[in-house]
A and B are shown apart, each in its own frame.
Chain A
Amino acid sequence: MGGVNGMVWPRFTKGALMVFRRDFLSWVKYYRSSVLLNFGEPLTNLLALGFGLGAYVTKMSGDPFVDFIGPGLLAVTAMNAVTFDMSFEAYDRLNENGIYLSMITAPLHPAEIVGGEYLWEACRSLLYGLVFLVVLLPLGIVHSWWALLLPLPLLVTGMLFAGPALWVATAAKNHEQLFYYFTLVVTPMFMFSGVFFPLAHLPVVIRDLILLTPLVHVVNLTRALILGQFPPTLWQDILWIVGYTILFMALPGRRLSRRLTD
């Protein structure tokens, strides 16, 4: 029963690949509505704020406003695609339709379920991020060939945001509690992570607080790659992303394990 009292790290085994496969088979059935759901909001933001509000804001750190928010919204799209799936969908897999239960009844370990979910969320992040990139292309927002490197940070971003959301799903007692995660964590992060305005003019305390959250670093990295502008502090963003990804990775395993075998 090792692991009940310690950390339960995800296991990326053959069994985890089968969990990934289940998610993929399920997604194939719904991808049309799923893609639309995940793009509606960021696309609306991009068009309304980028071109509507952007007509008044004109320049943001030297770039047109829409160029500034486009790459940030790409990071948000990736985060949201992962967070919705790992909160509401994972909650149902755990509590409503017994999908995780049938997995551990067959000889899968909870750590393999987490591993499989991470693999799938990495792919979701990649997929939804890239489709958003395709939307940015004709709008003339992609300025650099460095954007070709985006798959790498997108894959990592999927893993980064999967852990906390799955932890929330295993802790929540009902759907309403999942909304708290969005209202108290996801939405504030979305508003204050430098997606819509640069952090440079904020008071130092607030800026430092924001720099302790993960999304801002992903936004900085995607913006650097898409605009081809590399601030000297970018290596710090990369360190934060990698650090948080590793730190969050072991977050849901133990609780999921306890929920399934108690």
Chain B
Amino acid sequence: MANISTPATPAVAISARGLTKHFGSFEAVAGIDFDVYEGECFGLLGPNGAGKSTTIRMICCLTARTAGSLTVLGEPAVPGQRTIKGQLGVVSQEDYLDPALTVRENIEIHGRFYGQSPEVATLRATELLEFMQLDGKTNEQVRSLSGGMRRRLVIARALMGKPRLLVLDEPTTGLDPQARILVWRKVRELKAEGVTVLLTTHYMDEAQRLCDRLVVIDHGRILESGRPRELILRLVGRECLECPDIAPAVVDGLMATLRPEDEAWHEWQSDSWVLFSPNLSAILDRWEAAGIAPPLSYRRPAGLEDVFLRLTGRELRD
């Protein structure tokens, strides 16, 4: 008998199983499994060269996978797959815009590439220029735009085809804080309309704010996956003590006071020494009593950045 009960899990927008991509002998993506549910914002985090861009290119049907399976919006993702591409909006890392065309022409022609009639493309362009707050710039050449405006235009262009799945590859890199906040607001509005969002970013505060779930990948493999809050609690705990500009000798003295039941671990983040422990108050009391509490230190909530550094290490990648 067929199972007619409603599925317990939400509909899947992207499903990867053993997804692998080789470039010659180099394994850019080494067999990863993940699901992205419809209507959520899913983060793909990792250092440069981790395999994020290759994964995104496979999802966008721009490069063929070497092995494994990849289903996007119900169809197998292979290069030239038009059914998927027609429902996809892509914001690439680079602000590729047509330098000869005006702001409006840049996105109108993109709508025409999706097969829209001139009337529909014009209407949609007007809506989106307003949505991305570019309506004062419609007839300007794109080279006269600021970095933030160019980025907003690229996002508007990605929305021309009314995508079910929006791929944002580092959407806010190089933007000022005001422009970033605008982009975040727009992403939330799109999500509220039911658009699925796939996001890569190097800003962990951004991922923490926007992502419902995320994976951290490095060297082509998934290191961890989960909800941001859950990952933080599981991997680094609720809070930490950050001590900027502290001498290593002082740190040695502080470390000597730690006990196994503190479940403490520590790391250097740049010039700051950071101590993580579920027992932070007890440790601080002990230091206070011993008169060795570091004068310049502050307690702060642990964040996704701490998770990221713990998982991927501190050495520079490229």
Assess whether B85 is in contact with A105, with CB atoms less than 8 Å apart: yes
B94 at the interface (CB under 8 A from A): yes
Query: What is the CA–CA distance of A22 and B114 in the complex, to the nearest angstrom?
Result: 14
Interface mask (A9-21 → B, CB under 8 Å = 1, otherwise 0): 0000011001001
B280 at the interface (CB under 8 A from A): no
B98 at the interface (CB under 8 A from A): yes
Shortest Cβ-Cβ A-B pairs, 7 listed: A98-B96, A106-B113, A26-B100, A107-B85, A261-B79, A107-B82, A18-B112
Q: In the complex, which residues 46-78 of chain B have their Cβ closer than 8 Å to any Cβ of chain A?
A: 60-64, 78
Assess whether B92 is in contact with A105, with CB atoms less than 8 Å apart: yes
Report A-chain residues with C-beta under 8 Å of the C-beta of B191: none
Report A-chain residues with C-beta under 8 Å of the C-beta of B86: 107
Interface of B is mostly: loop
**Least CB distance, A101 to chain B, in whole angstroms:** 6
Query: What is the CA–CA distance of A98 and B62 in the complex, to the nearest angstrom?
Result: 14
B275 at the interface (CB under 8 A from A): no
Report B-chain residues with C-beta under 8 Å of the C-beta of A99: 96, 98
Assess whether B109 is in contact with A18, with CB atoms less than 8 Å apart: yes
Assess whether A261 is in contact with B62, with CB atoms less than 8 Å apart: yes
A29 at the interface (CB under 8 A from B): yes
Interface mask (A236-262 → B, CB under 8 Å = 1, otherwise 0): 000000000000000000000000111
A25 at the interface (CB under 8 A from B): yes
- Check A25/B80 contact, CB under 8 A, given A1-B64, A99-B98, A101-B96: no
Q: In the complex, which residues 100-118 of chain B have their Cβ closer than 8 Å to any Cβ of chain A?
A: 100-101, 105, 109-110, 112-115
Report A-chain residues with C-beta under 8 Å of the C-beta of B114: 106-107
Report A-chain residues with C-beta under 8 Å of the C-beta of B63: 261-262
Report A-chain residues with C-beta under 8 Å of the C-beta of B100: 25-26, 29-30
Interface mask (A83-121 → B, CB under 8 Å = 1, otherwise 0): 000000000000001110111111111000000000000
B90 at the interface (CB under 8 A from A): yes
24 A-B pairs with C-beta separation under 8 A: A1-B80, A3-B80, A14-B115, A25-B101, A25-B105, A25-B109, A29-B100, A29-B141, A97-B97, A97-B98, A104-B85, A105-B62, A105-B85, A105-B88, A105-B90, A106-B113, A106-B114, A106-B161, A107-B82, A107-B85, A107-B86, A107-B113, A260-B62, A261-B79
